[in-house]
Amino acid sequence: MQVEHVGPLRRWTSRLLDGGNRWGSVHVQADRFGAVRYRLVVYPPGISDSERRRLRLWRGAPVWGTALWVLAEIVLQHLMAPRAALVVSTVLVIASVAVAFTMAGPTRGLVRMMLVDAILGHTDATIAARDRLYSLASMLQDAEERLDAGLISPLEHEALWWRVYEQLDPGPSNVRKLPS
Q: Which one has a higher pLDDT value, 51 or 180? A: 51
Contact assessment for residue 129 and residue 39, using Cβ atoms and an 8 Å cutoff: no
DSSP 3-state assignment of 85? helix
Q: Report the pLDDT averaged over residues 164-179.
A: 63
CA angle, 148 as apex, 116 and 22 as ends, to 5°? 40
Per-domain residue ranges of the chain: 19-43+111-174, 49-107
User: Could you tell me if 103 and 58 are in contact, meaning their C-beta atoms sit under 8 angstroms apart?
Assistant: yes
| pLDDT tens-digit readout, 69-100 | 999 999 999 999 999 999 999 999 999 999 99
The string of pLDDT tens digits covering residues 123-148 is 778 888 889 999 999 999 999 999 99
**pLDDT score for 4:** 54
Q: For the whole model, what pTM was predicted?
A: 0.75
